[in-house]
Structure 1
């Protein structure tokens, strides 16, 4: 049964205890001497902080470690009462959810494939997300403390009304559909931004001060990290590459979101069908995955279609490079992270701008969900302090 308890309590912690709690969450188990050295806290201050955290049931000893002097010291980690968070991803092809402790251990997960690809959040997708969330909450119920935060990664659009922020693309039912207990914050975040956060924290852009994450799949988007922080923009819409004017020529006026329509998977498959010979080349690939598999297997027509699409992706990357000079570009998404795309994108970027490091993401299709989890953990720690 789902645990309906545990409204997440809040604590009025002193600064030293907050620092210790965050260090154990971010860096993992440690002894008092190790924490004192990292946080520059005196032994008396560390003793007071640890006593307060132990009294509240937020930390617990888990064995001992022998130091250079031969003395053993208790190794501390977060206790179960510190609680857990939920990350939820609503994608074009499926939904998934995962529960993590505040120190980064996965304690439950579930996913469900959607019956049809959708570039927006449909009511059916919101209901499917609610279903996988229920499964995860049933899995962790009663064992890992209170649920402190829920972050949903989904396609979003800028809200240009007073106050800014983001609004779900397609439906406003997400937070209501999840049915969280009162007092548990639920936030909808842009899916591409979540993937960028994950690559910055855990992936190929780990600790990079500046980079751009470019997602190409059913939709397109850009997440920009500047000075180690995600760039949001005045309307929360920084990186909305779909809104770049396209086409931009003397003969054709731009269409709203025309670039996304051109680079998205649906348009790719339409161009694939148009280029496919009527006879002698086999059946037209049913989706982008099948197209790339055919290209990797040496199918000449499939490879030409893929190479041209990769050149088009490279032109988007070149525009991003020319605009923000990120130093590193990370490609993600169902199409963008394919190795067949990478070489042609690099060639196009060198041809149109200047040589910039371009690589594929290191987290695969888990990037968005891991980013949502990381954002949830960060917010939970902030709220506890």
Structure 2
């Protein structure tokens, strides 16, 4: 079969084969007895499903597993022919590219840290990403089946749901700039949405049906999960908390993105520099350095961090009052710092109501992990 067409065409599958294929994608190598129990399939049905998948070259036997009785059973996993996905992250501090098999196994990766924080996608970031894509594609080679899907993660609105004029300049041309194969589906997705998806599938909100992911770093944003699904909104802009009116008081009209400017790490460090009075300690140059000093007991650093945490708690109270989530997960370069948690919880409880607020579990990998889950889900929808 032509490899490019294989990326687009679904396989004819029975319901049982489809269920086995999806299960192997989510849990990795597994034995037939375990699959039969998990999917409530009889032995003959399981055998037929495996034979069906093997005929398409989608599964293979890979080693054995020994049970409590001492008997061994063959382990089955997705075959390389099942294919792989490519994810590209254009973040504030790094550009990263990874390829993964459909059972989420990392195949190849490449990363470039940026010399300074970027608030938007720049031409130099796109150029660097294109170079990293070439590296990862070369490292992936031809032994992992066809490329099935590409997800590009950026600080922008999704490509499938967006309002005209709201996407940063140049994002619409990313696929063309990367010279992606025209037959392979791709999606440009918001980085905060991807991080929320990751925390729901594999992180701090695993198993939580309704939660809010609140990112605080160079920029701010929120990802909303309702009944286990990302809530995009009418224009794909749900969770754009940076657009909340701020400041909002008599004689002080709100400015667009003023809240993001105030809560972003750049403004935090500007306040730090203006108030720093410790002649024995140089002014910290980054938010990470400031938080490290605060963790070490530096009084002024601790005061600045506590104030910032209270401000983030006010934002959390605002979104809690609208969404009423079971859980709020804090992420981002600043938000995920453990020093934030206590004050954010206290402020949110004082201004709204007591809500389970947690620190994200995936750190700076949240967005790209979410992109992998999204790419695999899109592939499974088409293939099975």
* 1:373 aligns to 2:372 (yes or no): yes
Residue 269 of structure 1 and its aligned partner are, at CA, apart by: 1.4
* 1:382 aligns to 2:381 (yes or no): yes
2:261 matched residue in structure 1: 261
What SS does the corresponding residue of 1:138 show, helix, strand or coil?
Answer: helix
Partners of 1:75 and 1:160 lie apart in 2 by: 38
- Count, aligned residues: 380
* 1:348 aligns to 2:325 (yes or no): no
1:295 matched residue in structure 2: 294
* 1:270 aligns to 2:267 (yes or no): no
Map 1:37-76 → 2, pairs under 5 A = 37-65=37-65, 72-76=72-76
1:205 matched residue in structure 2: 205
Deviations 1:185-242 (A, max 9, x none): 1211010010011111111111111111100001000011111111111111111101
Partners of 1:217 and 1:370 lie apart in 2 by: 18
Cα 1:315–1:333 shift into 2, 3 Å? same
Residue 318 of structure 1 and its aligned partner are, at CA, apart by: 0.9
Cα 1:372–1:167 shift into 2, 3 Å? farther
Partners of 2:49 and 2:159 lie apart in 1 by: 42
Partners of 1:354 and 1:29 lie apart in 2 by: 44
Supply the RMSD in Å over aligned alpha carbons: 2.3
Partners of 1:95 and 1:50 lie apart in 2 by: 40
Q: Verify the 8 A CA contact 1:87 1:370 in the aligned structure 2.
A: no
Q: Which moved more, 1:213-222 or 1:27-36?
A: 27-36
What SS does the corresponding residue of 1:100 show, helix, strand or coil?
Answer: strand
Partners of 1:70 and 1:334 lie apart in 2 by: 48
Residue 129 of structure 1 and its aligned partner are, at CA, apart by: 1.4
Deviations 1:161-192 (A, max 9, x none): 9x759974232332122222231112110100
Q: Verify the 8 A CA contact 1:214 1:223 in the aligned structure 2.
A: yes
Deviations 1:285-323 (A, max 9, x none): 222122222222222222221111111011001111111
Q: Verify the 8 A CA contact 2:4 2:183 in the aligned structure 1.
A: no
Partners of 1:251 and 1:103 lie apart in 2 by: 56
Q: Verify the 8 A CA contact 1:7 1:181 in the aligned structure 2.
A: no
Deviations 1:78-105 (A, max 9, x none): 0110111112211111111111111121
Q: Which moved more, 1:73-82 or 1:233-242?
A: 73-82
What SS does the corresponding residue of 1:314 show, helix, strand or coil?
Answer: helix
Q: Which moved more, 1:34-43 or 1:86-95?
A: 34-43
Partners of 1:332 and 1:68 lie apart in 2 by: 41
Residue 276 of structure 1 and its aligned partner are, at CA, apart by: 1.8
1:78 matched residue in structure 2: 78
Partners of 1:159 and 1:200 lie apart in 2 by: 22
1:27 matched residue in structure 2: 27
Q: Verify the 8 A CA contact 1:57 1:79 in the aligned structure 2.
A: yes
2:96 matched residue in structure 1: 96
2:138 matched residue in structure 1: 138
Partners of 2:184 and 2:319 lie apart in 1 by: 37
What SS does the corresponding residue of 2:329 show, helix, strand or coil?
Answer: strand
Partners of 2:319 and 2:326 lie apart in 1 by: 11
Provide the TM-score with structure 2 as the length reference.
Answer: 0.92
Q: Which moved more, 1:33-42 or 1:22-31?
A: 33-42
Cα 1:247–1:50 shift into 2, 3 Å? same
1:330 matched residue in structure 2: 329
Map 1:104-119 → 2, pairs under 5 A = 104-119=104-119
Unaligned runs of 5+ in 1: none
Q: Verify the 8 A CA contact 1:294 1:302 in the aligned structure 2.
A: yes
Q: Which moved more, 1:357-366 or 1:283-292?
A: 283-292
1:339 matched residue in structure 2: 338
Residue 369 of structure 1 and its aligned partner are, at CA, apart by: 0.7
Unaligned runs of 5+ in 2: none
Residue 67 of structure 1 and its aligned partner are, at CA, apart by: 5.6
Cα 1:117–1:7 shift into 2, 3 Å? farther
What SS does the corresponding residue of 1:13 show, helix, strand or coil?
Answer: coil
2:247 matched residue in structure 1: 247
Cα 1:206–1:56 shift into 2, 3 Å? same
Deviations 1:237-285 (A, max 9, x none): 11110111111112211111211111111111111122123x6253322
